[in-house]
Chain A
Amino acid sequence: DVKVTQSSRYLVKRTGEKVFLECVQDMDHENMFWYRQDPGLGLRLIYFSYDVKMKEKGDIPEGYSVSREKKERFSLILESASTNQTSMYLCASSPLQGTGELFFGEGSRLTVL
């Protein structure tokens, strides 16, 4: 089974702090994604990556950056956290060739005070 692991299920941070959300997948997938989930808005794509050291902006990249130094790991970075970034963050991966099905982690619920 594909396993996507997000390092922290729950985080509480203060405004202005730098926040790292880590995601690791164990199925050698080329593609990795970060989504943000908010009630009534569904999942919105923040960034995605098709390969190591490669990244593409999604629909809402402002205030976020990403890092993909190794194929299995995709990190989401909030350089200076703000209260409007309080949300559930979901990481997903998929193989390059295929139907596009995504495999999701359990999510990281971030609260910024």
Chain B
Amino acid sequence: AQSVTQLGSHVSVSEGALVLLRCNYSSSVPPYLFWYVQYPNQGLQLLLKYTTGATLVKGINGFEAEFKKSETSFHLTKPSAHMSDAAEYFCAVSVNDMRFGAGTRLTVKP
């Protein structure tokens, strides 16, 4: 079955700094890849997804991710962090069903 590893359970950045959240996946077939965000006491919202085609995917709120097949990675980036980006972020891989990573909690310092 497919699986996801998120490197770093907590990431802290200063407001205006680059955000980089790391995700590596394992799958025997070409997967669909996703990043979701969860704000406190809420469900998960889709940030962006990779299905086929262009490997650089742009999502909501200025986030983007690049699918690198050779590295089996799908890292999430944002050039300039905002206080409102503080949340938990989940990487997920989907073949027949969706499997999630353990999550990365992003803290943004003023």
| A residues at B contact (CB < 8 Å) | 4, 33, 35, 40-45, 48, 58, 90, 92, 99-102, 104-107
Contacts and interface: CB of A to CB of B under 8 A. Distances in A.
Contacts, number: 51
User: Main SS of the interface on chain B?
Assistant: strand
Interface in B62-104: 90, 94, 97-103
Given A42-B101, A45-B97, A48-B97, A99 B43 contact: no
A90 B44 contact: yes
A68 to B, nearest CB: 15
B25 interface: no
The interface size bin for chain B is 20 to 34
Contact of B94 (A100, A104, A105): A100
